[in-house]
Structure 1
């Protein structure tokens, strides 16, 4: 499963992925084809969450918190910004109220401990439906949902409101196939969600399901595009002295022609490559003499950016 998922993440150029139902036991980490996977699980038969980070960002992870087998977070420092990514797996509808209460209390405590100056992104399987009508939650819900709202959906909306978050995959008008996150032979629903702070909503350029990517689970890949500038590298650009071809006039062209004739630029002999090399060299020498050259200078550093 992990290898198949990483292949998809690489193809789609996804830097960080929150995953659920990992089934790997223990608070550990593992290498997966260039990505690093941190996970938290108590049993290989139930629950389990994880976060995959690609080769460009894995060394910038400064903190990993494993709260329960349903919840964990990492802290990544990128270009002076601190990003907190939380992966969650909410209890299913059939489980008891006590387990659901503990889940939301744990999540409240985890999110409440993140400073408001840091970026926050929450992704996971919330096992709830929010429906395609805001119904009093316009401040956290964009109105583009799928399915009938249930208790799990209300809990998610109340949580988002309490911490000033917005549900990213409800904020963009999409066709049904780009909204449905879980599909089986008998049902299709939207139970996976990505959230971020309201103040950072402008960072999110798009959020949708990619239905063409098939995983061994019945969940679909839900992707959020964030426009966070990252300096990939800095390269020095040198401005070398250049011939002032822009100053070429009829008079200067005649002058150059006479000089080239006197130099024997057109009297080359031998193979074509040797003839061209001699003629080109003569032209450069004469052009510098007649037209002049621009002063060379050391250019500045050029930043190259990418999006996360």
Structure 2
């Protein structure tokens, strides 16, 4: 792959919330080579043809949206209410999800999903020796290597992230009555609060490279029949 395709410009975009001097309140968007994006569009259908993402994932999937996930959650809540059953949910938002995915974890998840080795090597080549510069109002930094995370602004990154989340959540989805995901936003129910907490801990283990935001990982308890809603 041409070396020019490996270069990008990272532009920090303020999220319009929090301290403007805090880097965590900015989203980095990569301006990548147009020919690189065309190459990603060529590779993407080859991956989507062989990889089947679980039906619990509503993000980055054709003909699915947030409205579908909200509707499904409301139907589940109504069923719990009709049966006068307790509902325990955990809502998890992964911190810097794209930026925190280790490359080795990505290759492993692709292979586990049935992606042919030749396409794994193609994606590896896209990330090999990738370099970027940060552009802001006062100028531009020196070029540096990018050795972790998915490319922000990439045409292929959304589906690659869906593959990673599909593999990381597989064991939990088998243990839980139901789980729903929209990209890196997750909601899971178990009937027992301990199982919900276990989900949060297991999906965000240190070796996976992803972390739950402390302020965005919450347990919600709904006791139908008592008009009580609790939140941890």
Q: Shorter-chain TM-score: which interval?
A: under 0.3
**Could you say which structure has the larger radius of gyration?**
1
Q: Normalised by the size of structure 1, how large is the TM-score?
A: 0.19
| Structure holding more strand per residue | 1
| TM-score normalised by length of structure 2 | 0.23
More contact order relative to length (CA 8 Å, sep ≥ 6) = 2
Query: Greater helix share, 1 or 2?
Result: 2
